[in-house]
Chain A
Amino acid sequence: MSSQQTHDPASQLRKTALNAVHRKLGAKMVDFGGWDMPVEYSGLIAEHMAVRTGVGVFDVSHMGDILIIGKQALAAVQHISMNDASKLQIGQAHYSALLYPQGTFVDDVIVHKLGENDYLLVINAGTREKDWNWVRQNVSRFNCHPKEVSDYYTQLAIQGPKAVDVMRKLTDVDLDSVKGYWFKYGTVCGIPNTMVARTGYTGEDGFEIYVPSDEPTSERVWNEVMEAGKEFGIIPCGLGARNTLRLESKMALYGHEISDTINVWEADLGRYAKMDKGDFIGRSALEEAKAAGLKRILVGLEMIERGIGRDGYKIVDDAGNQIGEITSGSPAPFLKKNIALAYLPPAMSAIDTVVNVEIRGQKVRAKVVPTPFYKKPKKAVVSG
């Protein structure tokens, strides 16, 4: 019934090892930060709902990976990232960011402590080269060795309340012992020493696995995940659902909520900036910025009149003067509301403050609401 949209092969775009699989599944492909990636397969809403209520799988192999290895690896990581990596235990990960000396963002990252002198930074796809250059330059004075290993791995994210049931069929890792933001190594789909991390970008329980990036292995693992997930209703999910899922959960996206012109306090990510851990790049600027006071802060908005506020739309006062801007806005498929993240002056950031979003020249009312918009339900602890 539906007409297939077959974009040109986009030969200049980079491809993951699963590109042919996505195309065979009839995914709509888009250029995402220079990558030819699936934006949706069966439909964005169905994919979003699968992750909230069941399980979905994403190819996130476009994400970048940087290893920092050596005697002073910890000191190097502490220098280039704002969270306190000295608090990490082996097998633990945390959210952090690489900052410019101005206290603004090079990128946000997940730092994994693989071993005593061994750290893995998972970075964004669109910022791979920039991040790598930044890391390489800034760790050079430490006794450590940075290594760009992005292309070694096919990274799959299996996400949703039933992700654990799917993974249980595929690995010998004791998944119940892997808490959120922890990881273990084990055999996955017959591949030994595979990293299984309880991480994701959906606000839901789930896992990310890192397998060798050759096409036959990548395709085999993808197919085995799909097969194991069949009884739980697993479906492949694209970047469209990934975006709405992370938005409902108020997770930042580089180039939207965070960028080289937005600082940590403005982005409301101050809880991840450990100012007392010792010096790090951006720290002194952050201290000054805090003392000077904020000019804008990231807030959650919910449309109260009919209309959808979207990325880049202006927030205006009653006279039509711009007072802020939406960084990400969309219908929220699970919440069934039109939501947005936006920068507003602190004086306008209190919950229930009503503001105007300018939509095609019209003022449409929205109000400031608590975030995250969506929080995953607490699971009852089952013992035994």
Chain B
Amino acid sequence: MDGLEITDVSSCDLSGRQDHRVPGEPMLRVRGLTRIYGRECPDCVPRTGPEAGSNICPGCGSVVACAGVSFDLYAGEILGVVGESGSGKSTLVQCLYFDSAVTAGEAYLRNYREGAVNILGSSAQEQRHIRHHLMGMVYQKPHQGLRLDCTAGGNIAEKLLAAEFFHVGRIRERASELLLRTEVPLERMDHLPRHFSGGMQQRVQIAKALANSPPLVFLDEVTTGLDVSVQARVLDLIRHLHRELGLAMVVVSHDLGVIRLLTDCTLVMKTGRVVEAGLTDQILGDPQHPYTQLLVSSLL
């Protein structure tokens, strides 16, 4: 064949080859995660959900934000959680990041005590340790994840200091490295994020979330409210970081475009329940549940 001199496969370096079978154990195992706001009654879960068309319990008026959510997340994988406002997708990640207590359910993190401990039942101190060493979170609104009255560098330092990294020079080195990676000009390091643009605040937030190189990062509607071009830059950054660092991520978004771009697998949520789960391109290409079909058909 003319013009096609392609190195023989046998001579290519496959040392970096991953085991392409199912990775042994999931990095995060979630079972039956439930969060109910309100008094709770035995009817709360059975009388709410997609069939009932509501997440408000007719018996006691409690709000079932999410119920019975289970999934496995493998190392290096990106899981999407999609659904309309109020479907419980943000509650799900907030529970997993310990921002919100759970009503019921378990979660196991492979990197924490060999995955033998239900981290949702751990003490506040242990949860803080897990948050600071093994997890990162990027919230929809920068002020949720950043201290706007601390400098950009100080924000990153907070995460490092929480993990007992007490060396100003090295903190600044690491912060520069992260800001460089997230495309924030270094001269803004000692400025207050209060004066940054929305896109730059979001990138600082990402830098902060990555400060301790956590194996697991949650992203909650990170591009919502940004201009399209800024959105694209943030999404490219996330894709790039994922490729480079091999992070596992949970990406919450109501935007199917974001889900398609970033994720391998997807959970579709409605009124607090997972109505469909599977490979993202299958969910988008061949949705099974009526709600998912509606969602996909609504895609612009």
Binding partners A and B: no
Residues on A facing B (Cβ under 8 Å): none
